[in-house]
Amino acid sequence: MNKNHRIPYHYLNHLEQSLNVFQPHPPAVTKFFGDHVHLVRLTRDQLLLEAGQVCGHYYFICKGAVRGFIKEGRKDITTWISVENEMVTSISSLDLSRPAFENMQAIEDTDLLAMSNKDLNLLYDTFPSFNITGRLLLQQYYRDAEGRAYISRLRNAETKYRYFLSHYNHLSNRIQLKYIASFLGITLETLSRVRRKLSVQK
């Protein structure tokens, strides 16, 4: 994991825009980000966080794709897949400073902006109105998590994949099938068979 690169201006810009969706922020907040954020570069397959470690950071994906996954026996269960302009972290480990339950891994060469939880709390203290943004961001985070959980609760493999196609279409021709299968909670083989079935029907 390489840190301490110069941060491309448009990366900060994209982060700012993503946050402004919730409410406008004063320039001082933007400056705060510029001062407290650092760039993390990952090559494909590299781990951003390993289960058992404490995840002390929030990450904003500037470029690339990252997945969260947990180990069940010797298998992976992918819990989420995120791409550029999305935020990722391990919520459960963040505020309790507990060891993370899940792993985070780049599945493409990826650039991230990172802010430590400590700095984030400083941000909340310095700019109380940022708590609103934090709250709204978490609310969105929650809704997204619900959508993912919905897939995992579906019983039928074809239904899962159809849902995936309609809600995550931007990933369907970008992410390897093994990750998609794992995200859907089915095997690669089952996914392959579902795909054939659907392509025949069309």
Partner DNA sequence: GCTCCTATTTGACAAATGTCAAATAATGGA
Partner DNA sequence: TCCATTATTTGACATTTGTCAAATAGGAGC
Nearer to DNA, 114 or 184 (CB): 184
Q: Which two tokens stand for residue 8?
A: 């491309």
Out of 96, 189, 201, 202, point to the residue binding DNA (CB under 7 A). 189
Check binding of 187 to DNA (CB under 7 A): yes
Total binding residues toward a copy of itself, as defined by CB under 8 A: 32
Out of 1, 21, 149, 198, point to the residue binding a copy of itself (CB under 8 A). 149
Q: Which two tokens stand for residue 88?
A: 């990722």
Check binding of 188 to DNA (CB under 7 A): yes
SS3 of the chain: helix, strand, coil, percent, to 5: 50, 25, 25
Q: Which two tokens stand for residue 42?
A: 């990952």
* Residue 38 CB-density burial (10 A; 0-12 exposed, 13-18 middle, 19+ buried): middle
Considering only 44-52, 59-67, 112-120, 138-146, which stretch makes contact with a copy of itself by CB under 8 A? Answer: 138-146
Contacts of residue 131, defined as CB under 8 A and 6 or more positions apart, other chains included, come to 124
Helix axes 130-153, 157-167, angle to 10 degrees: 150
Check binding of 99 to a copy of itself (CB under 8 A): no
Q: Which two tokens stand for residue 181?
A: 């299968």
Binding mask 139-158 for DNA (x = CB under 7 A): ----------------xxxx
Residues in touch with a copy of itself (CB under 8 A): 70, 72, 77, 79, 91-92, 94-95, 101, 124, 128-129, 131-132, 134-136, 138-139, 141-143, 145-146, 148-150, 152-155, 185
